[in-house]
Amino acid sequence: MSLISPKGILGATLCALACLSLNTQADVPPLTVSGNQILSGGEAKSFAGNSWFWSNTGWAQEDKYNAELVRWFKNDWNATIVRAAMGADEDGSYEEDPDGNQARVETLVEAAIDNDLYVIIDFHSHYAQQKKALAIDFFEEMASKYGAHNNVIYEIYNEPVQISWGGIRSYAVDVIAAIRAIDPDNLIIVGTPNWSQDVDAASYNPITEFSNIAYTLHFYAGTHGQWLRDKANTAMNNGIALMVTEWGAVNADGDGAVAIWEADQWMAWLKQNNVSHLNWAVSDKDEGSSVMRPGASPFGNWSDSDLTDSGRYVREKVKNWGTTIGGSSTSSSSSSSSSSSSSTSSSSSSSSSSSSSSSSGGTGGACVCNWWGHSVFAICENQDSGWGNENGASCIGELSCRNDQSPSGGGGVECDNSSSSSSSSSSSSSSSSSSSSSSSSSSSSSSSSGGSSSSSSSSSSSSSSSSSSSSSSSSSSSGGNTGGVSCVVSNLNQWGSGYQLDVEVENSGSAAVSGWTIVLDFGEAPRLTNSWNADVSESGDTITASNISWNGTLNPGQSTSFGMQGESDGSLATPSCSVQ
């Protein structure tokens, strides 16, 4: 644990003096962690907003860091939270231009405070443990300037890569100690392994040395599906609170079309679990994850034609999220709250979507919502539509429950006399069973968001000159009376010291299969460091991967996928893929 520096002592004194005059006039309620929930003024709420792009000098997005644009997002998008991504990696970062980057961040922070919004001060790095002294200096200054404001949230590590949770935890404890010496209580969010996807790893050994700590989860709907929500469910079931400080409606490389169906699943999950979220990114860079088209005004006042497809989707979700700061949340018109949640569990594998949501404590009323026939929620007493939170548990408005049900008719409102039930829950179990291994896991992934060239994230393309990508491979299939299985390697992404790839496995035969084993031949040692969605073993130049419990059964035409990471000098060839 770090000793308090003279700078920290001075900062603590200044903050204490400021608190005397400012905290009594706080315009937003404090954020506090209680179990696996983040409370605003003692009430579990899910806030929606936007993350700005990397603050780096020379990256052509500096002009977006202005107060007028913050006001535009509050007034036009109904945003309740914003994020300043203080670039700590790559050219033009805080290391190279501390004054320019910090000035941009402070402009955003002060505009958020002036507009009564929550604001995340993000140390936007993939290797923050290598820059711990820099991070401590930065956060000591931020805590000294802004620690008196309930608006401020410290995100001390954006997306860790190539580091275990133990390494992240050690870094975090030292940085948190420096912040807490100045600011004793504002919310601090800690990044998690593998581009802030492995939140479950953090949940097994959470930070207990300090209070009011939450953990970062990032997802991109075109790449990350139910398997990542399963990790998040595990983490929350283990008792830690999460915030999605960055998400995208497109692929994890920042491009591609809006994955509407999967993004809707994520929106419903966020609502159900009261998880706040910020979309990446406030940028006019020519990539799918940007909310604005190239050349759009950096000050807002946009028409629909100024927004990208992603921007239009995100605006509709944020604008209609229905949560306000202070007072009680109001559910928005059902255009977002219920439409985004209407498909919440239809694609989830039978394992975990119910584990996160079936525990609804409810309002104690006589009626419940049998959501799509396999998850039960309380009917909200104080709202008719959309998702809410009452008595510490998720609930749904009666109109949304009646209107947004399985196409096969499963689920509905069920009361003690069953008179208003749309149908019995037993009749609807088939509405979601067919997706248990195909759609819930076929989007299983690889990299995550908002990063530099070391990840395949939405902002990796901002420094894409240092990464390489190849996405085609060989495939082979096996015949026999168990059906034909084929495999293909896709999304081989490489950087200076490592690689990440995905493998898609498909049953292209006419009969169901109950298991599969894939062999990847790299032609050199793969030097595997991480994998997901398969049991893998390395031997010589090959990796053998077999299904795990939930993705082994594939009906004809169904597919699943798994992924892995390893060490490389950037010259790795796409491995051959064969079915054993």
CATH of the domain at 518: 2.60.40.290
Same domain as 162, residue 69: yes
Of the candidates 400, 419, 452, which is a domain's last residue? 400
Active site amino acids = 159, 246
Query: Does the residue 476 lie in any domain?
Result: no
Within this chain, do residues 101 and 158 fall inside the same structural domain, yes or no? yes
Do 147 and 267 sit in the same domain of this protein?
A: yes
In a domain, 494, yes or no: yes
- Per residue in 507-552, pLDDT (tens digit) is 988 898 999 999 999 999 999 987 877 889 999 999 999 998 777 8
Let me know whether 167 and 295 are in one domain: yes
385 and 510 both lie in a single domain: no
Top pLDDT among 149 and 450 is at: 149
71: its two tokens: 């006001």
Using DSSP bridges, classify how beta strands 393-396 and 485-495 pair: parallel, antiparallel or unpaired: unpaired
> Domain count of the chain?
3
Residue bearing tokens 């049991």? 535
Query: Looking at the domain assignment, is residue 119 inside a domain?
Result: yes
Check whether residue 379 and residue 509 sit in a common domain.
no
Query: What CATH number did the domain enclosing 268 receive?
Result: 3.20.20.80
Among 182-191, 271-280, 372-381, 454-463, where is mean pLDDT lowest?
Answer: 454-463
Residue 317 — pLDDT band, cuts 50, 70, 90? very high
CA distance 517 to 435: 21
131-145 per-position pLDDT tens digit: 999 999 999 999 999
Q: How far apart are CA 16 and CA 32, in angstroms?
A: 19
Residues 52 and 175 in one domain: yes
Q: Which of 360, 378, 400 is the last residue of a domain?
A: 400
Is 61 inside a domain boundary? yes
Residue 159 lies in a domain: yes
Res. 39 pLDDT band, cuts 50 70 90: very high
- C-alpha distances out from residue 425 to 134, 369, 405, 422, 429, Å: 56, 10, 11, 9, 7
Average pLDDT, the chain: 78
Amino acid identity, position 492 = L
Q: Are residues 316 and 378 in the same domain?
A: no
Q: Which segment of 222-226, 231-235, 332-336, 573-577 scores lowest on mean pLDDT?
A: 332-336
Query: Is 489 within a domain?
Result: yes
Shared domain check, 395 and 302: no
One domain, residues 372 and 301: no
Burial class (CB in 10 A: 0-12, 13-18, 19+), 361: middle
316 and 167 in a common domain: yes
Q: Is residue 21 part of a domain?
A: no
> What would the pLDDT profile of 361-380 be if each residue is shown by its tens digit?
333 345 777 654 444 567 87
Domain boundary among the residues 400, 419, 444 is at: 400
Do residues 103 and 168 share a domain? yes
Provide the domain limits for residue 391.
Answer: 368-400
Residue 226 scores a pLDDT above 50: yes
Cα–Cα nearest to 379, from 55, 387, 158, 460: 387
- Which among 476, 439, 446, 447 is positioned nearest to 550, based on CA atoms? 439
Assess if residue 357 is contained within a domain.
no
